Chains A and B, each alone.
Chain A
Amino acid sequence: MKYFLPQFFIVSLLVSCVANNGGPKKFGRDFSMPSSSSEDEKNEGPSEYAPEVNEWHKEIKKFTGGYKTFPSSGEVTNYLNNQLSSPNNPCEGFEDSYGNKFGDEKSIHPAAFGARKVLAAMFQSCKALTQVIDDKTPPLEGVTTVKMKRGSAIPKKRKITNTKAYVDSHIVLNKLKEDKNYPGEKCEDVTKKPPVYGYGSRKAPNKSGVLNLSSSGAGVISSSKPAAGIDCSAFISTALGTQGLKVSKKAGPFTDNTTRSFHSFLGSKNSCLKRATYSEDQSIVPGDMINVAGSHIVMVDSVGEDPLAIKRFAKSGNCNSISVKDFDFTYIHSGNINNSYGPSRVHISKHSGGTMWNNLRTTAVKMCKRIVEGKKKSVSMKSLTSYSKFSVIRHNTTDPDCVSNERIKLRNEECVDGCLKDQEEKVSNEV
């Protein structure tokens, strides 16, 4: 009986996905059960459902013996596995505990959503998600790096010297400045205290679980014009915390990690972080964190059809020719890019080299060669890299012990909650 109930539930779910109740859709089409019988089709001609709908009905009919029997649990499992392209792609209408809707092939991984939330909240606007730094973006003005006394814990700090010049030269802030409706309701005007990269500017929630993104932090010198500093790993730690994504099963929803500690979690017991696996069809995906211990960490935000050009070069068999310039994805981070931009969304075309991207390239080249050699099995990216400090980290979101019901709240996050949901699909279309 206990085995029958889950089986019954699963088949009921399948059937409900196609019932005439405005249920889930796949590829934007309604999968309602055909109202015409085969007898009707004989008299009135074939049904006019889309070919993939008719195909699906044929499969279900075969699967259930003409809708007369329940399949075994093994048959159901195999069928579902074949239908679902990824664990995050069940019937649309399924809403997970993050409030993200799945089923649409462009659904957003919760880690990537967290990064978008932090970025939007730092600028108090979802415009931060639509402006992308690329190879044409000029460096910021009105900001400089100040050298501190040798031996200081933070040897160099950021200083905004001219807020107007900084804002005017910033691809997001200059848009916000021109927007008559900015700041919106429940929002602050960050053009008066703009975000900036701040090495050593860490963040942590207060006792009430609220994290203030607008603090300057240790990475901004006290003589600077007002600025909100944040460094790379603090940004990613905060992003995970907003979604309750734990780094360890034993940890709480938020831990203040560095690039080194992120890396160290990969081999540890109870870790919720694992190295990404690459397959013939997939390499990096949104939500992956690309990390070089001791140097930098970024969150993959959106990817093109072939983000690391593996498929393209595998076709030609010319894997060694893959270049960083062939990559096609965006990432979100806080980094010392374009003269201290800090929190930003970046297209990989910004880069031609650098240790992070050179290492990512070697994983692409090696995976490409595996495909050319006919090795179809998925592989951990660990075996595709030669540099022990480099990793592509994927959160084990499917393990319930790795997701907390508690999440950290960002101060003034209400400002962007509404626009984040609207932006989800729009941003995921942009690479």
Chain B
Amino acid sequence: MKFKILCLTLVSTVAFGLSCPKSFDVKKIAKEVLKAEFSGIRVDGMQGHKCIQQGKFPYVLATHDSSNEEASEPQYTISREEEVKINNVKLVDKSSYVYEVSFSVNGVDIDSKKKVLHSDKILLNLFKDNRNISISGCAAVLGAPEKIAIYRDCYTP
């Protein structure tokens, strides 16, 4: 019986697309979103890149969304092994589940080539209903980080 329920859950997840484990808190969700952010979704010219394939992101919708107006080039590279630290979570709008998440991660400045502690913020809208979770995963990004950081293996100099 348990096996049948497990199979049914797996099938329904595939049928409906993305998911969001109930155990995920805002910090965990923010980290999942940042995985997509660091994969180049804001970098002009990276649409369709192997780093942004949706299959790599079971919990967030990886939409390529570079600026149409300003330069969309990475400023920092980071290692996938580097842990992202969530410094602060601020509830901005309770009724709409909007949070401002401050984070920092060790990286290298592409211009100076120096190691830096990159700190930034992201504005997230968490989804609580199954319908939006299946379409977009745990959260949608309302405000992207000011600077673009990218995984080293996704970056082309």
Contacts and interface: CB of A to CB of B under 8 A. Distances in A.
B69 A259 contact: yes
Interface in A324-348: 324-325, 333-336, 339
Nearest to B47: A339
B45 A145 contact: yes
Nearest to B45: A145
Interface in A366-385: 366, 369
B23 interface: no
Given A154-B71, A199-B44, A362 B96 contact: yes
Given A296-B67, A353-B63, A386-B92, A145 B44 contact: yes
Interface size class on chain B is 35 or more
Interface in A262-297: 294-297
Nearest to A318: B129
Contacts of B71: 154-156, 199
Contact of B67 (A295, A323, A339, A351): A295
B96 A199 contact: no
B45 A352 contact: no
Contacts of B144: 355
B132 interface: yes
A365 B65 CA distance: 22
A368 B157 CA distance: 46
Contacts of B110: 150
B63 A386 contact: no
Contact of A353 (B47, B48, B61): B61
Interface in B36-77: 44-45, 47-48, 61, 63, 65-73
A210 to B, nearest CB: 25
A232 interface: yes
Given A352-B61, A366-B96, A387 B68 contact: no
B136 interface: yes
B142 interface: yes
A366 B61 contact: no
Contacts of B142: 355, 358-359, 362, 386-387, 390
A399 B45 CA distance: 42
A301 interface: no
B111 A150 contact: yes
A50 to B, nearest CB: 43
Contact of B98 (A151, A156, A362): A362
Nearest to B62: A353
Interface in A127-181: 139, 145, 147, 150-151, 154-156
Shortest 6 CB-CB contacts between residues of A and residues of B:
A145-B45, A358-B140, A296-B68, A232-B68, A353-B63, A354-B65
Given A355-B141, A369-B95, 20 more contacts: A150-B110, A151-B111, A155-B71, A197-B68, A231-B69, A295-B68, A296-B67, A320-B128, A320-B132, A321-B129, A323-B132, A324-B135, A335-B68, A336-B68, A352-B135, A353-B136, A365-B96, A386-B98, A386-B142, A387-B142
30 contacts: A150-B157, A155-B44, A155-B71, A156-B44, A197-B68, A258-B69, A294-B70, A295-B70, A296-B68, A296-B69, A320-B132, A321-B131, A321-B132, A334-B68, A336-B44, A336-B68, A339-B47, A352-B136, A353-B61, A353-B141, A354-B65, A359-B142, A362-B93, A362-B96, A362-B98, A362-B142, A365-B96, A366-B95, A386-B93, A386-B123
Interface of B: 44-45, 47-48, 61, 63, 65-73, 92-93, 95-96, 98, 110-111, 123, 125, 127-129, 131-132, 135-136, 140-144, 156-157
